[in-house]
Amino acid sequence: MEAKRNPLKKFLSVFIPFFVMPSMVITGLFVFRARGMAYMIAAVTALTLIVFLCGFEKRKTGTRRLVLTAVFIALASIGRVICSPLPGVNPITAITVLAAVYLGGEAGFMIGSLSALISNIVASQGTWSAFQMLAWGIIGMVAGLLSRFLEGHRLRLCVYTFTAGAVYSLIMDIFTVIWASNTFSFDKYAAAIVTAIPFTLIYSLSNILFTFLLEKPFREKLGRIKIKYDI
Amino acid sequence: MKDLDSFNPFAVFFWFIITAVIAMFNLNPVIAALSFAGSLSLLLIREKRRRYGIHISALLIAAGCCLLNGFFSHNGKTVLLVINNNPITAQAFIFGLVTGVTAASVIYWFSTFSEIMTSDKIIYTLGRVSPKAALILTMSLRFIPLFIGKAKEINNSQKAMGIYKDETIVSRIRGVSRVFSAMITYATENVIITSDSMAARGYGSGRRRQYSLFSFKPRDAALMAVTAALSAVSFVSTGAGYFDFWFYPELSEINSGAGAISGYICFGILCFIPAFIEGGDRLRWRYLKSKISLSHIPEAGR
Amino acid sequence: MALFEVKNLSFSYPGSGKITDCVSFEIEQGDFVILCGPTGSGKTTLLRLLKPELEPKGELTGEVLYKGQNLRELDASESVKIGFVNQSADHQTVTDKVWHEIVFGMENLRYTQSQMSRRLAEISGYFGISRLFDKNISELSGGMKQTVALAGVLAMDPEVIILDEPTSQLDPVAAGEFLASLKKLNDEQGITIIITEHRLENVIPLGNKLGILENGRLTHFGAVSQTAAQIRPDEIMFEAMPGSVKLFSLAPNGGECPLNVKQGKRFLRESGLDKRLIRDTAGSEKSKNESTGTALKIKDLCFRYSKDEPDALHFASLEVKKGEIMCVLGENGSGKSTLLYAVSGLITPYSGKVEIFGKNIKKYSGQSLHDNCVAMLPQNAQSVFVKSTLRDELAEVGADFDIIPYDLGYAAETHPYDLSGGEMQLAALAKVLAAKPRLLLLDEPTKGLDARAKRIVCDVLTQLKNRGVTILAVTHDTEFAAMCADRAAMFFRGAVIAVDEPRGFFSQNIFYTTCINKIVSDTDPRLITFDDVKNRLGGED
């Protein structure tokens, strides 16, 4: 399927986005003054996004897998728009995770990040778009990497989406704090987390519900397609 | 035509992101005021008919920030009144007001931005970074209306078959899941046709070259160069602390050194560039229209 | 040197019999080749074997040469000279905008910006679609989508275009326009066309070569009129042939086989067949269906989809008697499907009345309209299925395979989407019949079906009628209506403008009638199907 890559390269491709960039942010948090840090987080987010997208650019994706990726982006975006009247409820995480388990990490990243981008065309585009793209993208990518562990296990999938949803909310709260008060302080972060608890809870529970409902159709249908069309 | 819409999306995107980021991450009354004035005037120049909704939401957000911070933040020296032993201070209100005005301006910026950046332009801009992602994006945008139409069709079919009952809530939820499940089948089973159609047209034979509807003209380069120069000054000002402003315990003075002033001026120009472009364009057309003699155009004489 | 040389080509999928069996033929540059055969005869597989990227996986013997070179050795820039268009307009368009669809192939081949711009301009001009340039593909009609798909293939400057039933999902007008644009490409640009079709009436007059496949074997291949003349009435494909070809079989005089109505009329005169058909039969026809009560009564129905649109139904009135098959015919967008939605309770008209079995539709509360009463088979059978095998599908609604008078048991373990068009239609019908409807509504029941499947659907419907089910079908298909309707209605601009039993109905129509009727109408307008003509001739012996 995919060519074996050399281990160092593989290590770096994980190391840079997951360790270098976050540590840049953390250093920024303590060393730079608040304002510089806000810029830096924005820049790091954008850069990470670009690094990921460029990384996938070089990989060869089968045409069918590519089309399936687009299909699930469309389904996830429709789902989000349909659910938009209910605050905190949207199926993007569940669909991204379930599709990523069958289609792999790259597709997972694309589904998560591009669903965020597309559904924001209807909702509203903003600086948060970049944060959402990155957050959902990573959730999908990790699900793809864990696919052996997750595939076919409804319970594990539910636990994963629940955790992913909670982590997503925690990350987005960092963004909220920085945006609203322009500095990052743990007091305010804690306050933001507390105020957001109802939303986080609704969001995480709805994730479990969606995962629970969608797991079976995804397993049956994607399983069949994967065999029938040799993906 | 020199509407903002006709500029290269990449140039507009570049200008836009830089301006919005500077506005968002500096809490400074002057920056907030400039950003607000620039975004509002751009919105007003561009809008074809009054849109009250957006002004209401901007007002609500500004007022909300102002009141929330005023009543819940008790920093600041100038106490206006005391409620439950908690001081309500002028500084807290002003902090809230500046945050609110910034937030309102961001709403205006992004509203105009969403209007300018149509899906074609998003795809084009994304394609500069990742052609693959851009391709997936355009395919998804093709699928969305297709699937919505299909979902309606499936829903109607299932209803009109008369087999399923939908009288209770449970049966209704089951109905929705049935439609969604059928949707997934429909969407995934037909993937093969799309991918064959792509393969038949040479997809997968190597790197693609993206066709762009948008050419990069000298004025796009000019816009980007001006944006880069002006924002550089603004960034330097931020970095050097010229834009720093404290609200607590007392409002600090607005920095009026030469460095700060030039920073403000540069950011101000940055904010008003699109309004200049749009406004100039309107004026030109008004002038040109009066010159166009309708009698030369056969269809327009009616 | 021939463009395509196919030599002893045999192909089989893993674990199945031969799909194509020792097929050999040659196609010259500039040919317009029509390949036909019943569903499952291996047409699609054969077409895909001619296009390297789409070659199915399986066991292959024999070879295909393209300009003397083995097809598998072509590189990407050569193999795009073989264009491919298939039947699904919705799924073969890849991008969201018209312009993007046209340049998609050129992007893959790394054309330069200026080459792409120029080709885009040329193609838009050629098809007259400049105005649609910025449109979303989802806003286009089915016919326009197919045209855009064709334009996307043409942008790569193909030498040959292979089309797999490109018009099967289109209405007759759009299908005619699409085929005409193929003819124009063939004549004016010299592009070779290879097409499979089951609506042969429109396409046979356009081609110069005709091939017939049966069970993977190429039973006939050659110039159209010779080949058509060779088809014997006992062959499967005879049924699908245009009326003129069928007439020719009644009096083969060794001359040219007539391919269209004009030639058919001439043949009728020259062969003396017209004299034999004249027979005074006035009064011999009597209405079979004596009134046994009304199943459905629609009175002055008005409906519109949104405030600013014109009425989709405008004072539509219609009466359907118990136990008859009523076909409503009309062009696309005339509101015929809307009529069915109103009867099945999917939409609520703003004025007028629908009475079903003597009871106002508003008085049927909730589910009672569907219990043992009204059911609709939607236009697209795919939207009926939710399970992964046909057996589950029927078990889910408590139906079994006996419910339709046709044996589908052999396909029980098949995924519904893997069924052929005709099987899928019957499977969907089986599911719909689970509610034991007394009034069955059908929306385009023959869309995308070949002649044999159409005949089967027709038989099944007639048997259902004999069991007492009333059937209301809307369709474009005049042949189908002539074959099985008890009465036919003409629908135009939201209302029924004429109702009659089929013989009377079609004998008064000039344009909207069957191909046979057009040819023989000068002799006797009351002959509407080939069976009518045969019976008339049979009667003289």
The ipTM is: 0.89
Q: Running DSSP on this structure, what letter comes out for residue C200?
A: H
- The residue that leads in pLDDT, B200 or A189, is B200
Chains with 3 or more CB pairs under 8 A to chain C = A, B
Q: Any idea which residue has 């009144």 for tokens?
A: B81
Q: How much is the pLDDT for C288?
A: 56
CA dihedral B279, B281, B286, B289 (to 10 degrees): -170
Q: Is residue C56 part of a domain?
A: yes
Q: How much is the pLDDT for A227?
A: 84
b/e code B101-122 from CB counts within 10 Å (16+ = b): bbbbbbbbbbbbbbebbebbbb
Q: Is residue C269 part of a domain?
A: no
Q: Determine which of B163, B177, B184, B207 to mutate to test the interface with C (most C C-beta atoms within 10 Å).
A: B163
3-state secondary structure chain B: CCCHHHCCHHHHHHHHHHHHHHHHHCCCHHHHHHHHHHHHHHHHHHCCCCCHHHHHHHHHHHHHHHHHHHHHCCCCCCEEEEECCEEEEHHHHHHHHHHHHHHHHHHHHHHHHHHHCCHHHHHHHHHHHCHHHHHHHHHHHHHHHHHHHHHHHHHHHHHHHCCCCCCCHHHHHHHHHHHHHHHHHHHHHCHHHHHHHHHHCCCCCCCCCCCCCCCCCHHHHHHHHHHHHHHHHHHHHHHHCCCCCCCCCCCCCCCCCHHHHHHHHHHHHHHHHHHHHHHHHHHHHHHHHHHCCHHHCHHHHC
Task: Find, in chain C, the residue whose alpha carbon is nearest to that of B143.
Answer: C96
Which positions ≥6 away from A21 have C-beta within 8 Å?
A44, A47, A48
The encoded tokens of residue C241 equal 């042939």
A chain contacts of residue C57, beta-carbon cutoff 8 Å: 230
Task: Find, in chain A, the residue whose alpha carbon is nearest to that of B203.
Answer: A63
CA C536 to chain centre: 28
Task: Domain count for chain B, please give it.
Answer: 1
Q: How many residues in total does chain A contain? A: 231
What does the pLDDT look like over B139-167, one tens digit per residue? 999 999 999 999 999 988 888 887 777 67
The reply to whether residue C156 touches residue B159, judged by beta carbons under 8 angstroms, is: no
What is A61-228's CATH number, 1.10.1060.10, 1.10.1760.20, 2.40.420.20, 1.10.260.40? 1.10.1760.20
Q: Is residue B204 part of a domain?
A: no
- Give the residue from C255, C274, C302 where a domain finishes: C255
Residues 164-183 of A with CB under 8 A from B: 179-182
- Domain with C176, as residue range(s), is 4-255
Nearest Cβ partner of B136 from A38, A70, A181?
Answer: A70
Q: Is the pLDDT of residue A139 over 80?
A: yes
Q: Any idea which residue has 């002799």 for tokens?
A: C523
Q: Is residue C532 part of a domain?
A: no
Number of H helices, E strands in chain C: 20, 20
The reply to whether residue B191 touches residue A68, judged by beta carbons under 8 angstroms, is: yes
The reply to whether residue A74 touches residue B117, judged by beta carbons under 8 angstroms, is: no
> Minimal CA–CA distance to C382: which of C415, C358, C341, C349?
C415
One domain, residues C369 and C480: yes
Nearest Cβ partner of B140 from A38, A54, A73?
Answer: A73
Give the mean pLDDT of B119-137: 89
Shortest distance, CA C533 to any CA of chain A (angstroms): 48
Q: Is residue B134 part of a domain?
A: no
Task: Find, in chain A, the residue whose alpha carbon is nearest to that of B106.
Answer: A126
- Give the residue from C199, C228, C255 where a domain finishes: C255
The reply to whether residue C116 touches residue B211, judged by beta carbons under 8 angstroms, is: yes
The reply to whether residue A118 touches residue B135, judged by beta carbons under 8 angstroms, is: no
B chain contacts of residue A78, beta-carbon cutoff 8 Å: 144, 147-148, 151
What does the pLDDT look like over A47-72, one tens digit per residue? 888 888 888 887 788 899 999 999 99
Beta bridge partners of C136: C97
Q: Tell me how far apart the alpha carbons of residues B226 and B15 are, in angstroms, rounded to a whole number.
A: 9
Amino acid at C205: P
The reply to whether residue A110 touches residue B133, judged by beta carbons under 8 angstroms, is: yes
Shortest distance, CA A44 to any CA of chain C (angstroms): 32
The reply to whether residue B132 touches residue A126, judged by beta carbons under 8 angstroms, is: no
Task: Find, in chain B, the residue whose alpha carbon is nearest to that of C99.
Answer: B213
The reply to whether residue A221 touches residue C388, judged by beta carbons under 8 angstroms, is: yes
Q: Any idea which residue has 């990449």 for tokens?
A: B10
Q: Any idea which residue has 């920030």 for tokens?
A: B65
Question: What does residue C374 show for φ and ψ, rounded to 5 degrees?
Answer: -115, 135
Q: How much is the pLDDT for B302?
A: 43
Q: Is residue B162 part of a domain?
A: no
Q: Is the pLDDT of residue A180 over 80?
A: no
Q: How much is the pLDDT for A5?
A: 46
> Minimal CA–CA distance to A138: which of A10, A2, A224, A22?
A22
- The residue that leads in pLDDT, A172 or C165, is C165
> Minimal CA–CA distance to C505: which of C342, C328, C354?
C328
Q: Tell me how far apart the alpha carbons of residues C327 and C314 are, in angstroms, rounded to a whole number.
A: 19
Q: Is residue C279 part of a domain?
A: no
Q: Tell me how far apart the alpha carbons of residues A124 and B54 are, in angstroms, rounded to a whole number.
A: 12
* B28 touching A (Cβ < 8 Å): no
CA C539 to chain centre: 33
Q: Is the pLDDT of residue A141 over 60?
A: yes
The reply to whether residue C415 touches residue A224, judged by beta carbons under 8 angstroms, is: yes
Residues 161-220 of B with CB under 8 A from A: 177, 180-181, 183-185, 187-189, 191-192, 194-195, 198-199, 203-204
The reply to whether residue B117 touches residue A125, judged by beta carbons under 8 angstroms, is: yes
- The residue that leads in pLDDT, A96 or C523, is A96
Shortest distance, CA A224 to any CA of chain C (angstroms): 9
Q: How much is the pLDDT for C221?
A: 94
* C53 touching B (Cβ < 8 Å): yes
- The residue that leads in pLDDT, B8 or B65, is B8
Angle formed by the axes of helices A197-228 and A92-103, nearest 10°: 30
* A77 touching B (Cβ < 8 Å): yes
Shortest distance, CA A72 to any CA of chain C (angstroms): 15
The reply to whether residue B147 touches residue A74, judged by beta carbons under 8 angstroms, is: yes
The structure's pTM equals 0.89
Q: How much is the pLDDT for C289?
A: 54
Nearest Cβ partner of C86 from B146, B154, B193?
Answer: B193
Q: How much is the pLDDT for A1?
A: 33
Q: How much is the pLDDT for A160?
A: 93
The reply to whether residue A221 touches residue C415, judged by beta carbons under 8 angstroms, is: no
- Helix or strand holding residue C5 (H, E): strand C4-12
Query: In tens digits, what is the pLDDT along chain C, a chain of 541 residues?
Result: 789 999 999 999 887 788 888 999 999 999 999 999 888 888 999 999 999 989 888 899 999 999 989 988 888 888 889 999 988 889 999 999 999 999 999 999 999 999 999 999 999 999 999 899 889 999 999 999 999 999 999 999 999 999 999 998 888 889 999 999 999 999 999 999 999 988 888 899 999 999 999 988 999 999 998 999 888 888 888 988 999 999 998 887 777 899 999 999 999 888 888 888 886 655 445 555 556 788 999 999 999 988 888 889 999 999 999 989 999 998 887 888 899 999 988 889 999 999 999 888 888 877 788 878 899 999 888 888 988 888 888 888 887 788 777 788 888 888 998 888 888 888 998 888 888 889 999 999 998 888 888 898 999 999 999 988 999 999 989 999 999 999 999 999 889 999 999 998 998 888 888 999 999 988 888 889 998 888 888 765 4
Q: Any idea which residue has 């155009």 for tokens?
A: B297
Task: Find, in chain B, the residue whose alpha carbon is nearest to that of A111.
Answer: B136
Q: Tell me how far apart the alpha carbons of residues C473 and C441 are, in angstroms, rounded to a whole number.
A: 6
Between A and B, how many CB-CB pairs are < 8 A? 134
Residues of A with CB under 8 A from a CB of C: 220-221, 224, 230
The reply to whether residue C109 touches residue B202, judged by beta carbons under 8 angstroms, is: yes
Beta bridge partners of C35: C196, C211
Task: Find, in chain B, the residue whose alpha carbon is nearest to that of C398.
Answer: B163
Q: How much is the pLDDT for A17?
A: 61
C chain contacts of residue A220, beta-carbon cutoff 8 Å: 388
Beta bridge partners of C161: C83, C193
CATH number of C459's domain: 3.40.50.300
- Using alpha carbons, list the distances in angstroms from residue B262 to A75, B28, B252, B273, C507: 50, 15, 19, 16, 88
Q: Tell me how far apart the alpha carbons of residues A217 and B182 are, in angstroms, rounded to a whole number.
A: 9
The reply to whether residue B206 touches residue C110, judged by beta carbons under 8 angstroms, is: yes
The encoded tokens of residue A111 equal 């589904």
Beta bridge partners of C302: C351
Q: Tell me how far apart the alpha carbons of residues B293 and B297 are, in angstroms, rounded to a whole number.
A: 8
Between B and C, how many CB-CB pairs are < 8 A? 171
Q: Any idea which residue has 């759009």 for tokens?
A: C174
Q: Determine which of C95, C136, C388 to mutate to test the interface with A (most A C-beta atoms within 10 Å).
A: C388
Angle formed by the axes of helices B9-25 and A127-145, nearest 10°: 100
Task: Domain count for chain C, please give it.
Answer: 2
Q: Tell me how far apart the alpha carbons of residues B20 and C153 are, in angstroms, rounded to a whole number.
A: 43
Residues 27-46 of A with CB under 8 A from B: 33, 35-36, 38-39, 42
The encoded tokens of residue C462 equal 């007639």
Yes or no: say if C383 and B152 are a contact pair by the CB < 8 Å rule.
Answer: no
> Minimal CA–CA distance to B108: which of B40, B60, B34?
B40
Residues 30-59 of C with CB under 8 A from A: 57
Angle formed by the axes of helices B169-189 and B191-200, nearest 10°: 20
Q: Is residue C379 part of a domain?
A: yes
One domain, residues C399 and C495: yes
* A221 touching B (Cβ < 8 Å): yes
A chain contacts of residue C415, beta-carbon cutoff 8 Å: 224
Chains with 3 or more CB pairs under 8 A to chain B = A, C
The reply to whether residue C107 touches residue B209, judged by beta carbons under 8 angstroms, is: yes
* A190 touching B (Cβ < 8 Å): no
Yes or no: say if A231 and A62 are a contact pair by the CB < 8 Å rule.
Answer: yes
What does the pLDDT look like over A22-43, one tens digit per residue? 666 665 555 555 556 667 777 7
Q: Is residue C515 part of a domain?
A: no
One domain, residues C45 and C149: yes
* C67 touching A (Cβ < 8 Å): no
The reply to whether residue C370 touches residue B162, judged by beta carbons under 8 angstroms, is: yes
- Using alpha carbons, list the distances in angstroms from residue C432 to A209, B88, B151, C369, C505: 32, 70, 19, 14, 30
Q: Counting beta carbons within 10 angstroms of the beta carbon of residue B297, is it exposed (0 to 12), middle (13 to 18) or buried (19 or more)?
A: exposed
The encoded tokens of residue C236 equal 């499967």
Q: Any idea which residue has 């002055």 for tokens?
A: C300
B chain contacts of residue C117, beta-carbon cutoff 8 Å: 211
- Domain with B76, as residue range(s), is 4-122+218-301
